[in-house]
Structure 1
Amino acid sequence: MSLSPVAEPGSEPRLTSLSHGGGCGCKIAPGVLSGILRGTSTLPVPEALLVGIETSDDAAVYQLNEHQAIVATTDFFMPIVDDPVDFGKIAATNAISDIYAMGATPIFALALVGMPINVLSVETIGRILEGGSLACRAAGIPIAGGHTIDSVEAIYGLVALGIVDPAHVKKNAAARPGDVLVFGKPLGVGIYSAALKKEQLGADGYAQMIATTTKLNTPGPRLARLPGVHAMTDVTGFGLGGHALEMSRGAGKGIRIDWDSVPMLPLAAGLASAGFITGASGRNWASYGAEISFARAMSPVDQALLSDPQTSGGLLVACAPEGVAEVLQIFREEGFAAAAVVGAVEGTSPGLTIA
């Protein structure tokens, strides 16, 4: 067996040039994914498996005893930025987010590493792993192992594991009629990444992008312990529209998004107007756009933002109206200044309305 030559430092291309789709924009479109999963065989589900694949939730949850359940997830993708440390930090933060979204506390991670070793130097690959380690250190967890392969495209991510009291697990499918929706981070990461790939994102925009994508969704466990919080999910590759629809379908109730209240990254609308929109946005829209109704006019830019794939996106929380102030307070205390009320759960049948 012949081994691939190892690249030398200084001879490498931009990381994003190696990606056919960066970050959570790499995800298979929801409609295609649904078709793939329909073709898989169903195995018996043990009673201890509290959360599986049924509602497309953020992580699996397996009960160990009366007060402990293990939470397990995995997430990995191709580069969304060119700086290797930033790429590693974003990918690791994104993976750990699924643990927080279930209301759990992360305990350790395993690294998933696929690298074109004939294209990227050992030093660059090491810096990607360093970025992942920095994110895990911020979450207070070790990287306890992992797996590496020689790959055509650069791929990095984590298997992340956490622990939670089963009484505090927050599924994406448990929203109740009358619940208020709170969203923790601004939209627009996919649009920023599209501009970055074409070298049209300035230093300020890049700083905004890194600040949001490397911010751990630490409010999750605190929010999960509030009796008024009924459901949570993190908004990632399917965009706000796709993940709100997942929450709606799981609950069997309608969801209304008040579009003017949704937080946006400062440059997102302008960049989208200039044409910096990911291919994943169009695939998302093709998969679920027909399921959305509109009580207001929506421009092509609005549509792009609604379906924009978020990498390491914000928590979407469904809570009782009387719990909104405490939910927002926890977000503020954890440094999420953009967190805002963005809609409500209403109606007797699944669906998403943009008002």
Structure 2
Amino acid sequence: MDLAEIVKDITQMPNENVVVGFETSDDGGVFRLTDDLNLVQTADFITPVIDDPFLFGKVAAANSLSDIYAMGGRPLTALNLCCFPSRGIDKQFLAEILRGGLETLNQAGAVLLGGHTVKDDELKYGLAVTGIAKTSEIKRNSTAQAGDILVLTKLIGTGVIVHGKKLGLISDEIVRKVCLNMARLNEVASRLMVEYNASAATDISGFGLAEHAWEVARASKVGIRLYANEIPHYPESLDMIAKGVRMGMTESNQQAVGDNIEFEEGISPVMQELFFDPQTSGGLFISISKERAESLLNALHQQGVKEAKIIGEVFGSEKPKIEVVGGKIKN
């Protein structure tokens, strides 16, 4: 469903305190409270990515919190969003989901204030999260600058790995390893990108790397060049794609980007498809000046974000676009 098409003719009353609305498809909305302090709000929920209810709760909570971190904010409060079947699932199973979500909220220093539950045939869980951000620390997806370097802080390929497990093509051990990584908060990456004054940021989630990069390019009116050989990914993800594993959202992600992305000759179809694989609780996609990029990367590695890599660069372009090339990025 194309929500942008649905809401395109809906206008809301203007408000001078809206700092970031939905016009650029950013990760969260930002509302000015004072000259230096802003409210950041977001909501997200997902279907299960693993049979372990506690770990699923942790992943879902981390996924919801990620939008606040992508905006440069700090989460304060949250509300549970629960779509639970009325029969067929043990109540203790549902309680474990909520317990996992609460543990991740506690880890983030946020407070659970309540929530809302509806009956649904398909189980879903997530959070509505409220945070704060200083005006000088807000990160948008619309402010990437030509000459910036692009950093990605987590591996991609979660979608096909989770789906591969449902098809019996991948082990429980690998899926658990991937889900533990999904459950890792983007708090450190967020704090460091603010400290090193990144130009722009977003997180990589259901739209996949290509579409989220396209949102940044389009909103910032720039070109983005990504280096296929530098993209951090789970090795098993390429194996799953090669075996024909494909998420339902992959095609819609490809259609959303359309001909605004160009792959250099020689990049395999399997690697190309990885760019559109929908992610859950993915890393931050950070645009930062060339002068500060290496310092940010070193700080990320030193503070435990070991998977972070420089994956591309921003360049001036009359028409926003994405280029995916082979080779290595030049320092």
**TMscore range, shorter length:** over 0.9
Q: Do structure 1's residue 300 and structure 2's residue 269 form an aligned pair?
A: yes
Output the aligned Cα RMSD: 1.3
Question: Equivalents in 2 of 1:61, 1:271: separation in Å?
Answer: 38
- CA 1:311–1:275: 2 relative to 1, 3 Å: same
1:146-194 alpha-carbon deviations (Å, 9 max, x no partner) = 1111212111100011111011100011000000000001110001111
Residue 84 of structure 1 is matched in structure 2 by 53
Q: Do structure 1's residue 288 and structure 2's residue 257 form an aligned pair?
A: yes
Q: CA deviation at 1:297?
A: 2.6
Residue 170 of structure 1: SS of its match in structure 2? coil
Question: What amino acid maps onto 1:148 in structure 2?
Answer: T
Correspondence list, 1:197-212, <5 A: 197-212=166-181
Q: CA deviation at 1:33?
A: 2.9
For residue 273 of structure 1, the aligned residue among 226, 239, 242 is 242
Residue 224 of structure 1 is matched in structure 2 by 194
* Worse-matched range after superposition: 242-251 or 318-327: 318-327
Q: CA deviation at 1:345?
A: 0.6
Residue 257 of structure 1 is matched in structure 2 by 226
Q: Is the 8 A contact 2:230 2:311 kept in 1?
A: yes
Question: What amino acid maps onto 1:314 in structure 2?
Answer: G
Residue 33 of structure 2: SS of its match in structure 1? strand
Q: Is the 8 A contact 2:152 2:284 kept in 1?
A: yes
1:128-163 alpha-carbon deviations (Å, 9 max, x no partner) = 111111111111212111111121211110001111
Question: Equivalents in 2 of 1:121, 1:178: separation in Å?
Answer: 54
Gaps of 5+ in 1: 1-27
Residue 133 of structure 1 is matched in structure 2 by 102
Q: CA deviation at 1:337?
A: 1.0
Q: Is the 8 A contact 1:185 1:339 kept in 2?
A: yes
Question: Equivalents in 2 of 1:237, 1:192: separation in Å?
Answer: 14
Residue 174 of structure 1: SS of its match in structure 2? coil
Q: Do structure 1's residue 353 and structure 2's residue 323 form an aligned pair?
A: yes
Residue 264 of structure 1: SS of its match in structure 2? coil
Residue 106 of structure 1: SS of its match in structure 2? strand
1:47-84 alpha-carbon deviations (Å, 9 max, x no partner) = 11100101000000111112211100000121122111
Residue 99 of structure 1 is matched in structure 2 by 68
Residue 272 of structure 2: SS of its match in structure 1? helix
Residue 38 of structure 1 is matched in structure 2 by 8
Q: Is the 8 A contact 1:208 1:265 kept in 2?
A: no
TM-score calculated relative to the size of structure 2 = 0.94
Question: Equivalents in 2 of 1:121, 1:197: separation in Å?
Answer: 21
Question: Equivalents in 1 of 2:79, 2:66: separation in Å?
Answer: 15
Q: CA deviation at 1:205?
A: 1.2
Question: Equivalents in 1 of 2:47, 2:245: separation in Å?
Answer: 19
Identity across aligned pairs (percent)? 34
Q: Is the 8 A contact 2:50 2:175 kept in 1?
A: no
1:295-314 alpha-carbon deviations (Å, 9 max, x no partner) = 23332211220000000001
Q: Is the 8 A contact 1:177 1:345 kept in 2?
A: yes
Q: Is the 8 A contact 2:263 2:272 kept in 1?
A: no
* Worse-matched range after superposition: 79-88 or 244-253: 79-88
Q: CA deviation at 1:207?
A: 2.9
Q: Do structure 1's residue 62 and structure 2's residue 31 form an aligned pair?
A: yes
TM-score calculated relative to the size of structure 1 = 0.88
For residue 243 of structure 1, the aligned residue among 198, 212, 227 is 212
Gaps of 5+ in 2: 326-331
Correspondence list, 1:10-49, <5 A: 28=1, 32-39=2-9, 41-49=10-18
Question: What amino acid maps onto 1:230 in structure 2?
Answer: S
Question: Equivalents in 1 of 2:89, 2:99: separation in Å?
Answer: 15
Q: Is the 8 A contact 1:178 1:320 kept in 2?
A: yes
Q: Is the 8 A contact 1:235 1:310 kept in 2?
A: yes
1:10-60 alpha-carbon deviations (Å, 9 max, x no partner) = xxxxxxxxxxxxxxxxxx5xxx23322324x11122111100101000000
Q: Is the 8 A contact 2:65 2:129 kept in 1?
A: yes
Question: Equivalents in 2 of 1:222, 1:65: separation in Å?
Answer: 24
Question: Equivalents in 2 of 1:333, 1:134: separation in Å?
Answer: 25
Residue 123 of structure 1 is matched in structure 2 by 92
Question: Equivalents in 2 of 1:279, 1:321: separation in Å?
Answer: 37
- CA 1:297–1:44: 2 relative to 1, 3 Å: farther
Residue 110 of structure 1 is matched in structure 2 by 79
Aligned residues: 323
1:209-250 alpha-carbon deviations (Å, 9 max, x no partner) = 1122101001213312323x1000001011000000000001
Question: Equivalents in 1 of 2:14, 2:61: separation in Å?
Answer: 29
